[in-house]
């Protein structure tokens, strides 16, 4: 049998819930994505809680809440302790996304599911990989190779390829084949006949217009509102699709010579853009080439102003403006507050660029457009005053006293356990049983516990009142004082703890407002009011989600032609539609499991490990094919002394074999190649017409499902003339002959 593969969805099947899937490869458990939604409902994580302790590795595909939002909570509360893998942008932008989510919720609620420290701890264990980098697992995962590849949806977004014994398991959700302003398209089509492909049906029923047409319509819609003296609110994510929207707005403002202000408002806006400026190599070829030739960084923004505090927006000059604010769901963050303020004015526009998460205010507005009245909860944090402040301080004092008693008790027990025989008459000793309150307990070189006493009331047994003092006794040798090298080593955890929390920039500094919020220890409470908002403003939805549409998904799946296909994440209607299409046109093994339903997608192929003998290898001629070297082998199968299969030189002359042409011909590339050779060529009816008489077309084996597999043939049609032989010769040059 082939490599054993089982897939168990933990969240995100037959609906649009967050993504989280357990994939077991020969007993090694991968958790692929660990998402949560903007409601942060712990009930969604119940399936994950039952398997968290068995996870061996976590793979994160995208830097948004739906793909990694539950990571801090799972590591703190659910017992998840496995190493995490992602690309550098997913790590950095995912960290900022979680900071933004935490701060936004802490401003309007007593949010306690996780803290900033929990976020830091979760991301400290992330191993960052580059695209196409093969990472070999060790220990229990020996023999398994993981590699991230371009997904094209978000910056750093990943398709994960898991390889074991030559068989590939591909995880490809939220991919985009279209090249955008700041991202290249996915490379999913470069994978042919993987053993298992796990993909989503989220966009299976949607089709999209051409990009340039869509970009122009997007800008025109905004400009129309601004010209009518209205404001435009774009609810966006923290550091994902908002980057594409910023690039479109920068382009459109330049094209139309507009001077209306544009504001990007999140708690970590400046840090986000600072990081983005250093990620040019992860972006589209056009951005990378522009920087290489002109040193022009596409994210040195000319028209977009970065804000991290709503008061800055309130103090901006009056007049029409565009504001991109998080969160996209309108459940929390600056977008929620701005919506409440602007919704009552018919001149304003709320422009959604993605479908709102199910059950959120954004989704409700998209499904039932205004005019209408909606109930919203407006919350804010205010300082405690009067009796509330007194009660809070008394409670804090009580907690300090309890902590003090616990500390003293622990100190007493520690002394007793070490059998200390301290002389009570010694002026250096402070009676630990004294009812004096220590204010601060600190460490002295990690060896002593000093107690600094408020007011310093020494015990009556002291001869001469003085603070605790310890003589530093050092070891000496012939060269002087003996140095312990460990005293001068800065531990990794100390470095991590010294890094500030919140909206950090590339220098590790906090956004000023985020720092003030996080470090403000003044007693406060959350005050909430429920309001009924009369929504009179215009609402418009334009698809800038950056996902392949239904037509493209079907075409790509037919080209990839996996041996087995697993469908996840999409409505029941979309999932069933894509499943039926794939059963007819892609492969006969298509699965759409339910939550916690384990399906076995082990390959039906038999795989064997063989050893190539030195005698055989000395006579083999390899030919370069992309990143690989290939050769035709004729050999006898034998066994080595330890029982391993081995390929040995033939004991008799090899039988002749038919020539094999190896390669993948792309008709568009071949058309350009023929044109460079002076041959007039054009596409006609799905075929390539070469010169006056010769036609080339690709023909698939009708008995095989999946037109993109190795069963395709290239057929040359035309009379036997000079052009025919010339074109055939050029065609052969595109392949490797074995």
> What is the three-class DSSP state of 698?
strand
Query: Does residue 555 belong to any structural domain of this protein?
Result: yes
Contact between 108 and 379 (Cβ < 8 Å) = yes
Per-residue burial over 476-489, b = 16 or more CB atoms within 10 Å of its CB, e = otherwise = eeeeeeeeeeeeee
CA dist., res. 91 & res. 75, Å (int): 16
Whether 139 and 283 map to the same domain: the answer is no
User: pLDDT, tens digit, for every residue of 244-264?
Assistant: 999 999 999 999 999 999 999
Whether 537 and 641 map to the same domain: the answer is no
Query: Does residue 468 belong to any structural domain of this protein?
Result: no
pLDDT at 462: 57
510 DSSP assignment: B
Q: Where does residue 738 rank: exposed (0-12), middle (13-18), buried (19+ CB within 10 A)? A: middle
661: enclosing H helix or E strand: strand 661-662
pLDDT at 518: 52
pLDDT at 383: 86
CA dist., res. 170 & res. 147, Å (int): 10
Range of the domain at 257: 211-384+525-541
Q: What's the rounded mean pLDDT across residues 319-347?
A: 95
pLDDT at 382: 85
pLDDT at 682 over 90: no
Contact between 196 and 601 (Cβ < 8 Å) = yes
As a dihedral over the C-alpha atoms of residue 243, residue 248, residue 254, residue 255, rounded to 10 degrees, the angle is 170
Query: Does residue 256 belong to any structural domain of this protein?
Result: yes
pTM of this structure: 0.76
pLDDT at 201: 96
457, two tokens: 């009331």
97: enclosing H helix or E strand: helix 88-108
Contact between 350 and 233 (Cβ < 8 Å) = yes
Q: What's the rounded mean pLDDT across residues 433-448?
A: 41
Number of residues in the chain:
738
User: Highest mean pLDDT: which of 86-95, 442-451, 513-522?
Assistant: 86-95
Query: Does residue 641 belong to any structural domain of this protein?
Result: yes
Phi-psi region of 139 (alpha: psi -120 to 50; beta: other; left: phi over 0): left
Contact between 240 and 62 (Cβ < 8 Å) = yes
276, two tokens: 């983005």
Contact between 264 and 306 (Cβ < 8 Å) = yes
Whether 186 and 38 map to the same domain: the answer is yes
**What is the 3-state secondary structure of 453-496?**
ECCCCCCCCCCCCCCCCCCCCCCEECCEECCCHHHHCCCHHHHH
Whether 378 and 261 map to the same domain: the answer is yes
Query: Does residue 496 belong to any structural domain of this protein?
Result: no
Confidence of residue 505 (pLDDT cuts 50, 70, 90): very low
CA angle 565, 568, 572 (to 5 degrees): 115
Confidence of residue 539 (pLDDT cuts 50, 70, 90): very high
pLDDT at 164: 92
CA dist., res. 32 & res. 24, Å (int): 10
pLDDT at 443 over 50: no
Query: Does residue 36 belong to any structural domain of this protein?
Result: yes
Q: For the domain that residue 9 is a member of, what is the CATH number?
A: 3.60.15.10
378, two tokens: 């407006």
Whether 195 and 221 map to the same domain: the answer is no
Q: β-strand 564-568 against 196-200: which pairing, if any?
A: parallel
Whether 287 and 324 map to the same domain: the answer is yes
Confidence of residue 64 (pLDDT cuts 50, 70, 90): very high
491's CB contacts (< 8 A; 6+ apart) are none
User: pLDDT, tens digit, for every residue of 124-156?
Assistant: 999 999 999 999 999 999 999 999 999 999 999
Confidence of residue 513 (pLDDT cuts 50, 70, 90): low
CA separation (Å) from 409 to 65, 229, 405, 435? Answer: 44, 69, 6, 12
CA dist., res. 210 & res. 213, Å (int): 5
Whether 643 and 711 map to the same domain: the answer is no
Q: For the domain that residue 337 is a member of, what is the CATH number?
A: 3.40.50.10890
Q: Of 44, 54, 59, 38, whose CA–CA distance to 11 is shortest?
A: 44
537's CB contacts (< 8 A; 6+ apart) are 230, 342, 343, 344, 345, 346, 347, 348, 349, 350, 370
> What is the three-class DSSP state of 91?
helix
Higher-confidence position of 581 and 684:
581
Report residue 542 CA to chain centroid gap. Answer: 23
- % the chain with pLDDT above 90: 55
Average pLDDT over all residues of the chain: 84
CA dist., res. 305 & res. 269, Å (int): 10
Contact between 518 and 502 (Cβ < 8 Å) = yes
291: enclosing H helix or E strand: helix 285-294
CA dist., res. 3 & res. 600, Å (int): 11
> What is the three-class DSSP state of 503?
coil
Whether 179 and 272 map to the same domain: the answer is no
Whether 379 and 271 map to the same domain: the answer is yes
CA dist., res. 474 & res. 589, Å (int): 73
Task: Provide the number of structural domains found in the chain.
Answer: 4
Q: What's the rounded mean pLDDT across residues 399-422?
A: 76
pLDDT at 430: 42
Q: β-strand 636-639 against 610-612: which pairing, if any?
A: unpaired
CA separation (Å) from 207 to 198, 490, 595? Answer: 21, 55, 28
Query: Does residue 708 belong to any structural domain of this protein?
Result: yes
Q: Of 6, 188, 170, 173, whose CA–CA distance to 563 is shortest?
A: 170
Q: β-strand 158-164 against 167-172: which pairing, if any?
A: antiparallel
CA separation (Å) from 653 to 163, 635, 650? Answer: 36, 10, 7
CA dist., res. 439 & res. 155, Å (int): 49
pLDDT at 306: 96
User: pLDDT, tens digit, for every residue of 24-56?
Assistant: 999 999 999 999 999 999 999 999 999 999 999
Pick from 95-109, 399-413, 494-508, 612-626: least confident? 494-508
pLDDT at 328 over 80: yes
CB atoms near residue 612 (< 10 Å): 13
Whether 77 and 147 map to the same domain: the answer is yes
Whether 562 and 642 map to the same domain: the answer is no
CA dist., res. 443 & res. 358, Å (int): 51
552, two tokens: 């493209």
pLDDT at 274: 93
Q: What's the rounded mean pLDDT across residues 408-412?
A: 83
Phi-psi region of 77 (alpha: psi -120 to 50; beta: other; left: phi over 0): alpha
Q: Where does residue 370 rank: exposed (0-12), middle (13-18), buried (19+ CB within 10 A)? A: middle
Whether 183 and 54 map to the same domain: the answer is yes
Query: Does residue 574 belong to any structural domain of this protein?
Result: yes
CA separation (Å) from 242 to 173, 335, 545, 598, 708? Answer: 19, 13, 10, 36, 34
Contact between 45 and 73 (Cβ < 8 Å) = yes
Confidence of residue 514 (pLDDT cuts 50, 70, 90): low
- % the chain with pLDDT above 70: 85
CB atoms near residue 530 (< 10 Å): 9
């Amino acid at each position: 049998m082939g490599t054993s593969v089982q897939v168990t969805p933990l969240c995100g099947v037959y609906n649009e819930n967050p993504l989280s899937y357990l994939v077991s490869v020969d007993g090694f458990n991968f958790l692929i994505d660990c998402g949560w939604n903007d409601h942060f409902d712990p009930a969604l994580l119940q399936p994950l809680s039952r398997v968290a302790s068995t996870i061996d590795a976590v793979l994160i595909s995208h830097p948004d809440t739906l793909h990694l939002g539950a990571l801090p909570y799972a590591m703190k509360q659910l017992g998840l302790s496995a190493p995490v893998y992602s690309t550098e942008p997913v790590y950095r932008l995912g960290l900022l996304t979680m900071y933004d989510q935490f701060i936004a919720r802490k401003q309007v609620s007593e949010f306690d599911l996780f803290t900033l420290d929990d976020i830091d701890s979760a991301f400290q264990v992330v191993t960052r990989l580059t695209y196409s980098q093969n990472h070999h697992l060790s220990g229990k995962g020996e023999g398994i190779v993981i590699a991230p590849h371009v997904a094209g949806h978000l910056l750093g977004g990943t398709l994960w390829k898991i390889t074991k014994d030559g068989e590939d398991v591909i995880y490809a959700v939220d991919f985009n084949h279209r090249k955008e302003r700041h991202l290249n398209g996915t490379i999913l089509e470069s994978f042919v006949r993987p053993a298992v492909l796990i993909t989503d049906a989220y966009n299976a029923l949607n089709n999209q217009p051409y990009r340039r047409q869509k970009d122009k319509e997007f800008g025109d819609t905004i400009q129309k509102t601004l010209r009518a003296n209205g404001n435009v609110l774009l609810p966006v994510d923290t550091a994902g699709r908002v980057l594409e929207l910023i690039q479109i707005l920068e382009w459109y403002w330049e094209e139309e010579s507009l001077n209306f202000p544009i504001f990007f408002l999140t708690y970590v806006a400046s840090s986000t853009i600072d990081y983005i400026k250093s990620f040019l190599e992860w972006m589209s070829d056009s951005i990378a080439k522009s920087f290489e030739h002109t040193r022009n960084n596409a994210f040195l923004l000319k028209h977009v102003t970065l804000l991290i505090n709503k008061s800055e927006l309130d103090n901006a000059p009056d007049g029409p403006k565009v504001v991109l604010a998080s969160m996209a769901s309108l459940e929390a963050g600056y977008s929620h507050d701005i919506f409440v303020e602007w919704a009552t004015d018919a001149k304003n526009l709320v422009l959604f660029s993605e479908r709102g998460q199910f059950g959120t205010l954004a989704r409700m507005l998209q499904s039932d457009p205004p005019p209408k009245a909606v109930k919203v909860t407006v919350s804010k944090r205010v300082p405690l005053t009067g009796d509330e402040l007194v009660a809070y301080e008394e409670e804090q004092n009580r907690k300090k006293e309890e902590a003090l008693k616990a500390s003293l008790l622990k100190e007493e027990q520690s002394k007793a356990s070490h059998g200390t025989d301290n002389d009570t008459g010694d002026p250096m000793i402070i009676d630990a049983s004294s009812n004096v309150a220590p204010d601060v307990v600190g460490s002295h070189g990690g060896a002593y516990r000093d107690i600094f006493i408020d007011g310093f009331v020494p015990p009556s047994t002291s001869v001469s009142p003085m603070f605790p003092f310890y003589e530093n006794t050092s070891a000496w040798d012939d060269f002087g004082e003996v140095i312990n090298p460990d005293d001068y080593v800065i531990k990794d955890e100390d470095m991590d703890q010294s890094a500030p929390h919140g909206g950090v920039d590339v220098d590790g500094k906090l956004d000023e407002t985020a720092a003030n919020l996080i470090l403000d220890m003044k007693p406060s409470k959350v005050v909430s009011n429920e309001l009924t908002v009369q929504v009179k403003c215009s609402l418009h939805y334009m698809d800038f989600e950056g996902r392949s549409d239904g037509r493209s998904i079907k075409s790509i799946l037919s080209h990839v032609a996996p041996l087995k296909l697993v469908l996840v994440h999409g409505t029941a209607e979309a999932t069933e539609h894509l499943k039926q299409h794939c059963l007819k046109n892609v492969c006969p093994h298509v699965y759409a499991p339910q939550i916690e339903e384990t399906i076995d997608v082990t390959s039906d192929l038999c795989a064997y490990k063989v050893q190539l003998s030195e005698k055989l290898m000395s006579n083999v001629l390899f030919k370069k094919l992309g990143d690989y070297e290939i050769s035709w082998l004729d050999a006898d199968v034998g066994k080595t002394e330890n029982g391993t299969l081995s390929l040995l030189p033939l004991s008799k002359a090899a039988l002749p074999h038919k020539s094999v042409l190896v390669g993948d011909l792309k008709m568009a590339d071949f058309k350009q190649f023929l044109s460079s050779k002076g041959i007039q060529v054009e596409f006609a009816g799905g075929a390539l017409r070469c010169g006056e008489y010769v036609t080339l077309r690709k023909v698939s084996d009708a008995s095989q499902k999946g037109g993109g597999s190795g069963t395709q043939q290239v057929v040359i049609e035309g009379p036997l003339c000079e052009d025919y032989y010339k074109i055939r010769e050029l065609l052969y040059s595109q392949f490797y002959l074995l």
